[in-house]
Structure 1
Amino acid sequence: MKVMFWLCLMQLGVQTIDMGEIRNLYQRAPKVKKDALQLNQLMLRVDSLDAPVLICYKGANEMIQAKYTLNPFAKFEKFNRGKELIKKAFSRDSLNLEMRFIRYSIQINLPSFLGYNDELDTDKRFLLDNTRENKDTKLKEIIFNYLAILPVIKQEELKQLKK
């Protein structure tokens, strides 16, 4: 009977992670520290057994947290930890559109001296080729709106996404 009681308590403590909230916070976190802190709190619940997309968000979160860290050594440590989490997520699912978007949005915003930009062209092509057919309309909207403001995306490419 005691075991059943503890199992019920543990179940109550487990909360599901709202992907919509993660997506919204991820978009605002690089510019709004409060949102970065909130995203970080959500990502503390993600572990290595979670879905690869959550692990990828956790890695991106580490890199965002590096932006708000003053110590250069701690910054670099967070960056590397984030890079490893994203790599781990891709080892489990390399064809996930949302993960490609996350990695692309991270790599395009990082300084080139960090050397984390090898997948920029591949991810851009993947996004352009696969966004339109994706069933998740909210994700498609997020990707389109993000790509639309980038100077490296041509108008013809945006039209291809809208068709």
Structure 2
Amino acid sequence: MKNIRQLVSNCREGNKKEIKKFIKELESREKTTPLLEAYSAVATAYKAKIALNPLKKIELLNTYKEAMDTIVEQQKSYEIVFLRFMIEKNIPYGLGLSNNLMQDYTYLTENTKEIEEQDFEESFQKFMNKFMELNRLS
């Protein structure tokens, strides 16, 4: 998981080269856990980010949304909810695909102790904390 977390952290700047590395890594992995399924859904959202065709972007985002909502329903954890929040925070609100923002933000802010209880790498912890700090909702 360390490698996947590092790769997703590197995608935050919108660097297409890093996004492609992340997508390639997830495509080569077997999705044996809800967490890997969640990262795979995130890879689908990143495919939408780099897709050129607007219709393809919408199709990929809808695929992401359907998969991620199902995963969160089945296995709600800090990391999975964080991934959904991270992606939905960056989807244009007008598309109607960011309707979990406030619910996820509330969950994440109420469960920050989970970060310390998990075995996250320090760099990933910093990434999550910084993202939450920069994306406060009121």
Quickly name the TM-score band, shorter chain normalised: 0.7 to 0.9
Assess if the C-alpha contact under 8 Å between 2:102 and 2:137 holds in 1: no
Q: Distance in 2 between matches of 1:143 and 1:36?
A: 18
Amino acid at match of 1:112: Y
Q: Distance in 2 between matches of 1:80 and 1:46?
A: 22
Q: What are structure 1's unaligned runs of at least 5 residues? A: 1-18, 155-163
Q: How far is the alpha carbon of 1:97 from its aligned partner?
A: 0.5
Q: How far is the alpha carbon of 1:46 from its aligned partner?
A: 4.1
Q: Distance in 2 between matches of 1:148 and 1:111?
A: 20
Q: How far is the alpha carbon of 1:104 from its aligned partner?
A: 0.6
Equivalent position to 2:71, from 47, 70, 89: 89
Structure with higher Rg: it is 1
> Residues 79-158 of structure 1 correspond to what in structure 2 (within 5 A)?
79-94=61-76, 96-134=77-115, 135-136=117-118, 137-138=120-121, 139-150=124-135, 152=136
Q: TM-score, normalised by structure 2?
A: 0.84
Q: TM-score, normalised by structure 1?
A: 0.73
Q: Which has the higher contact order (CA 8 A, sep 6+)?
A: 2
Q: How well do the aligned residues superpose, as a CA RMSD in angstroms?
A: 1.9
Q: How far is the alpha carbon of 1:91 from its aligned partner?
A: 3.1
Q: Which moved more, 1:131-140 or 1:76-85?
A: 131-140
Residue 47 of structure 2 aligns with which residue?
65
Q: Distance in 1 between matches of 2:86 and 2:39?
A: 11
Assess if the C-alpha contact under 8 Å between 2:78 and 2:114 holds in 1: no
Q: Distance in 1 between matches of 2:103 and 2:42?
A: 18
Q: How many pairs does the alignment contain?
A: 133
- Look up the SS of the partner of 2:102 in the other structure: helix
Q: Distance in 1 between matches of 2:23 and 2:83?
A: 16
Amino acid at match of 1:143: M
Residue 43 of structure 1 aligns with which residue?
26
Residue 32 of structure 1 aligns with which residue?
15
Amino acid at match of 1:79: L
Cα 1:92/1:133, change in 2 over 3 Å: closer
* 1:110-161 superposed Cα distances (whole Å, 9 cap, x missing partner): 10111112211111111111122441253543321211222x358xxxxxxx
Q: What are structure 2's unaligned runs of at least 5 residues? A: none
Q: How far is the alpha carbon of 1:99 from its aligned partner?
A: 0.5
